[in-house]
Chains A and B, each alone.
Chain A
């Protein structure tokens, strides 16, 4: 696959490692009363859609950016690629 890096343009997916579901960006609040439950969900419960999926990819053999790649798992079509730090910052969590 080719991943269109938002800063560097098209790069071979061989340069990346994939972590999986981008829901890992939403780490729960450890001080909340229900932290045990929310962390369990965060750690273990993931969607596995045949279709559009937001995934975390790490440009390990490149600029070391973590990216959020929106990919159709059925066709491998890549719909969007963003810097994970931008996604988190825009999400108002920081």
Chain B
């Protein structure tokens, strides 16, 4: 039996990428994601492993920590989303091995659709979709908030001009529709 062919959250073989006016909307299909939740009472082990495995301190609420390639996003009390760029196979498995009983780890690579939104009009577009004050978000800020009624994670990569939106994968088409409509309506 031949191996299975993956499709992107929007249903393509290749990821969607379009520029509308001053805004580029790009689907990023190859980010590896894992949920990382601290086991109760394992703070010391957990923080140590975060530093060792991910090379960063834990992010404060509303923040993302780490490098471009490897990041940790605060999702809730004692709960984080680890993101790793292309090529990080079995991220969840590797984390599980490193964290042992200090963390609960769940693969999330297929739970989200990721859109990267860049351009000078990004805040004008996002203010139609989200109550987050994206004009004042600095690089590294990350907020879980509704984007056109869908619970998303908004990550600021580059203040004012570069954002990532993680949305529920099953709602990829609705989120994409909301983004492109907003971009075209400025």
Chain B residues whose C-beta falls within 8 Å of the C-beta of A63 in the assembled complex: 61, 75-77, 79, 144
The minimal Cβ–Cβ distance linking B149 to chain A, given in whole angstroms, is: 9
The minimal Cβ–Cβ distance linking A30 to chain B, given in whole angstroms, is: 23
B13 within 8 Å of A by Cβ?
no
| CB contact under 8 A between A7 and B131, given known A61-B151, A63-B144 | no
Bound Cα distance A60, B77 (Å): 14
| Number of residues from A at the complex interface, CB < 8 A | 15
The interface stretch among A8-16, A17-25, A32-40, A42-50 is A8-16
The minimal Cβ–Cβ distance linking A11 to chain B, given in whole angstroms, is: 8
| Number of residues from B at the complex interface, CB < 8 A | 12
Binary per-residue interface labels of chain A (69-94) against chain B in the complex, 1 for a CB within 8 Å, 0 otherwise:
00000000000000101000000000
Chain B residues whose C-beta falls within 8 Å of the C-beta of A83 in the assembled complex: 77
A65 within 8 Å of B by Cβ?
yes
- Which residue in A15, A61, A85 is a CB contact (below 8 Å) of B77? A85
Chain A residues whose C-beta falls within 8 Å of the C-beta of B77 in the assembled complex: 7, 63, 65, 83, 85
B131 contacts A62, C-beta separation under 8 Å: no
B76 contacts A64, C-beta separation under 8 Å: yes
| CB contact under 8 A between A65 and B151, given known A7-B61, A15-B145 | no
B119 within 8 Å of A by Cβ?
no
- Which residue in A14, A60, A85 is a CB contact (below 8 Å) of B131? A14
Chain B residues whose C-beta falls within 8 Å of the C-beta of A11 in the assembled complex: 145
Bound Cα distance A85, B40 (Å): 13
Chain A residues whose C-beta falls within 8 Å of the C-beta of B151 in the assembled complex: 60-62
Chain A residues whose C-beta falls within 8 Å of the C-beta of B76 in the assembled complex: 63-65
